[in-house]
Amino acid sequence: MAICMSNAAILHFDMKLAGFARPESLDHHQHDLWKTLKRFVFPNGRLLPVEVKWTEHPNEKDARHLHSFIADHANAFEGYIVCRCKHPQKISNQVTAIPWHMI
């Protein structure tokens, strides 16, 4: 979702810079995407990264991209893997796996 939002923003500013009219289709579902995405951005700017995996048994390897994101973003402290596990489980100090039904 964040990629869709950022791509729309890039296109908006590129078209503006080039002097082209902004197509109405650029706004298609952007409001709906933002309503979902803003749940993961807190008023103080803190980010909550979430990764979705098909696994029932998440492990450290499944968390590697979340660890990279957290290391690269000072305003992200923890992340979640949403998966098919039965119960929440701590993957590391920064990453917790949670089952689908908890979101």
Per-residue pLDDT tens digits for 29-50 = 777 777 777 777 788 888 888 9
Instruction: Provide the pLDDT for residue 40.
Output: 74
For 51, the 3-state DSSP assignment is strand
Residues 39, 17: Cα–Cα separation, whole Å: 31
Mean pLDDT of 79-100: 96
Is there a contact between 26 and 11 (Cβ–Cβ < 8 Å)?
yes
Amino acid at 35: K
Instruction: Provide the pLDDT for residue 10.
Output: 77
Residues 23, 13: Cα–Cα separation, whole Å: 12
Which residues, at least 6 apart from 72, have a Cβ–Cβ distance to it below 8 Å?
Answer: none
